[in-house]
Structure 1
Amino acid sequence: MHTFLLSRRSLLAVAAAAALLPQLSWAQPGGERITIVAPFPPGGPVDTLSRMLADGLAKRYNKPAVVENLPGAAGNIGIDKVKRAKPDGTTLLVIPAGNLTINPTLMANFPFNIDKDFAPITMLAKTPNVLVAAPGAKLRNVKELVEQAKAKPNTLSYASPGVGSGLHLAGELFKQQAGIDILHVPYKGTAPALNDVLGGTVPLMFTNLPAALGFIKSGKLVALGITDDVRDKTVAPEIPTLKEQGIPGVVVTSWYGVLAPAGTPPELVARLASDAAEILSQPAVREQLHAQGLQEVAQKPAEFAAHIKAETATWARIIKARNIQAE
């Protein structure tokens, strides 16, 4: 009798302990395959990250995982597909920051409510932006830029890939924090904007660090500052941040995250975030990301959701204060 009681107590203890454990190991995507929706054409960071995630999840769950590129309507076609998908972890969305944090304010009839329509899983990767100057501008650092802008208002200008782009808003935020006014010159894409800065037509530009790095190293562009809290230790540790140079609050990274449809069970969202972190930590994956100027990021779902909300609020203030309207 005594032995039986001990055994029964042991079983009860084990059962109680198991009940307290997170249910991550039991949570798995349903269905026969996993679909990663990339709402842009093949090529570029969204496509690259989608394929890395698909490959890793396929190995973990021993089922096919495919990438479906659905470009169109500034990404909204692919976003809509995921919004309407069954919330069982079989359909996921890989998306850049602007679609989540800029478009809801910039677009007059934005068709989604990010808070209500999606379950944020994790940020996957980011790349800092950099403020660059044409050598002919004869600017060596941010202090010289600010001094010139204050001495001769509206004589300096900066290029961007277009009105309402993250790099346009980076410039507006910089102007606000530095207390200066410089003219915005919008282009239709990064390439033509960067070409005119290289040619000296426009003296300044905020751009992704990977796009500018080769020109910086060859002396064709001057790097004035990184738009992040810390220096990029991976590819350009020598470039100081704007914060180091007396302009705090301009933290504008180009980042990419993954989301599931609203209603996806929290334990499954947490499991997918954990899976993504493990995939991104693999040396081969990290090497591939670093080669493209991307830094791997792993966040808890609640942390990622809070980041989206905070950045959305920042851009909403800038867009409304500067009366920026989508073209």
Structure 2
Amino acid sequence: MSSWRRWTSGIWLAGALVLSGGQHAVAQSYPARTVTVVAPYAAGGGADLIARLMAQKLADRLGQSFVVENRLGAGGVIAATSVAKASPDGYTLFMGTSTQLAIQSTLHKRLAYNPGEDFAPVAMIASVPFVLIVHPSMQVKTAGELIKLAKEKPGTLSFGSSGVGGPPHLYTELLMSMTGATMTHIPYKGTAQAMNDVVAGHVPIIFSDLAPAVALVKENKVRALGVSSSVRVAALPDVPPIAETGVPGFDAVAWLMMVAPAKTPKDVVAKLHKELRSIVAEPDTQKRLVAMGVIPLESESPDELQRYVKSEMVRWGKVVQQAGLAGSQ
């Protein structure tokens, strides 16, 4: 090897060691100040409560404050954009949902961030199953019976949702695309308003997350036809998956993932990943997450999560396109 090559190789190796050592030092001292965890929805909602639970547990473990900040608007786009553009130093995190990290990219004509490129996934926290419910006056008791009725009366049945492009809307669109049924969409400004009208009988059908639905099901104010996940859920153990009651292969759940801005030091991401995996595995955390109506998950690695986000963008992008909603926002 020439002296020139030995010299340049030595410089490259020294630079790599300095960079590696610097990142390791950053991870060792992290966090050295307060960390902001951005939540995309209002205080008191599911994503907010889970963000606060993770923030408190991280603070207890790492000895620094993790403060939740709710940044509302545009279905979480404002929150996601602010984190995508934040300094990639580990001091701004995002409790993202599948809406911001998979669905919005196709729903919007222009999105100020790319979910698959502008975030560094840290850890998957939980999946969020939904339940298909109807007003008790409807003479159907399974998802299969509902589909049969919808096919007999195309377009005459209506279904509510929390808004255009949200999970309740897209899950029904997926159900219709898989079965050939047609129903009419009635969007509301939030789940609470939609659920009130289902209970009152003004709109007969909705996919709801478990938190507001379980009590109504148990009080017989609504009838549960099936859960959207491929497995039963603890909160409604007697309600079978839709896939077992007339729509084989149906599996649609929202999910919550902690992410950081892209280019956040890998050692910092790895440290947070390890802590969050341990936190979610704690019996206390599991119990509290289940009580919130979600399913705690054992997170895959950050690299695997990156691939998962991209695959979910493709999956839900097809549903959005089939529903005629691509670029509608």
TM-score w.r.t. the length of structure 2 is 0.85
Displacement of 1:28: 5.7
1:120 aligns with 2:121: yes
Displacement of 1:27: 5.2
What amino acid is aligned across from residue 219 of structure 1 in structure 2?
N
Residue equivalent to 1:254: 254
Displacement of 1:303: 3.2
Contact residue 158 and residue 184 of structure 2 kept, 8 A: yes
Residue equivalent to 1:173: 174
Please tell me the root mean square deviation across aligned C-alpha atoms, in Å: 2.3
Structure 2, unaligned stretches of length 5 or more? 1-23
Between 219-228 and 309-318, the greater mean CA deviation after superposition: 309-318
Residue equivalent to 1:289: 289
Structure 1, unaligned stretches of length 5 or more? 1-22
**Structure 1 residues 287 and 69: CA distance shift in structure 2, 3 A:** same
Residue equivalent to 2:50: 49
Residue equivalent to 2:162: 161
TM-score w.r.t. the length of structure 1 is 0.86
Residue equivalent to 2:36: 35
**Structure 1 residues 80 and 155: CA distance shift in structure 2, 3 A:** closer
What amino acid is aligned across from residue 213 of structure 1 in structure 2?
V
What amino acid is aligned across from residue 310 of structure 1 in structure 2?
S
Aligned-partner Cα distance in 2 for 1:274–1:122: 8
Contact residue 134 and residue 200 of structure 1 kept, 8 A: yes
Q: Please list, as runs of the form range in 1=range in 2, the aligned pairs for 1:94-173 lying within 5 A after superposition.
A: 94-173=95-174
Secondary structure of the residue that 2:133 maps to in structure 1?
strand
Residue equivalent to 1:236: 236
Aligned-partner Cα distance in 1 for 2:144–2:322: 25
What amino acid is aligned across from residue 254 of structure 1 in structure 2?
A
Contact residue 242 and residue 248 of structure 1 kept, 8 A: yes
**Structure 1 residues 199 and 39: CA distance shift in structure 2, 3 A:** closer
Displacement of 1:132: 0.8
Secondary structure of the residue that 2:116 maps to in structure 1?
helix
**CA distances 1:252-304 after superposition (whole Å, capped 9, x unpaired):** 22321110110123333232122111112222222222222122123122332
1:85 aligns with 2:86: yes
Secondary structure of the residue that 2:315 maps to in structure 1?
helix
Contact residue 136 and residue 223 of structure 2 kept, 8 A: yes
Residue equivalent to 1:306: 307
What amino acid is aligned across from residue 259 of structure 2 in structure 1?
L
Residue equivalent to 1:10: none
Secondary structure of the residue that 2:123 maps to in structure 1?
strand
Aligned-partner Cα distance in 2 for 1:239–1:294: 15
Residue equivalent to 1:266: 266
Secondary structure of the residue that 1:197 maps to in structure 2?
helix
Aligned-partner Cα distance in 2 for 1:61–1:121: 16
Contact residue 123 and residue 257 of structure 1 kept, 8 A: yes
Aligned-partner Cα distance in 2 for 1:39–1:31: 25
Aligned-partner Cα distance in 1 for 2:250–2:304: 20
Residue equivalent to 2:319: 318
Contact residue 128 and residue 253 of structure 1 kept, 8 A: yes
Aligned-partner Cα distance in 2 for 1:146–1:190: 23
**Structure 1 residues 144 and 24: CA distance shift in structure 2, 3 A:** farther
Secondary structure of the residue that 1:136 maps to in structure 2?
coil
**Structure 1 residues 274 and 119: CA distance shift in structure 2, 3 A:** same
Displacement of 1:64: 2.4
Aligned-partner Cα distance in 1 for 2:151–2:123: 41
Q: Please list, as runs of the form range in 1=range in 2, the aligned pairs for 1:199-210 lying within 5 A after superposition.
A: 199-210=200-211
What amino acid is aligned across from residue 308 of structure 2 in structure 1?
H
**Structure 1 residues 73 and 137: CA distance shift in structure 2, 3 A:** closer
Runs of 4+ in 1 over 4 A off after TM superposition: 23-28
Q: How high is the sequence identity, in percent, across the aligned residues?
A: 36
Aligned length: 305
Between 254-263 and 241-250, the greater mean CA deviation after superposition: 241-250
Aligned-partner Cα distance in 2 for 1:115–1:51: 25
1:64 aligns with 2:82: no
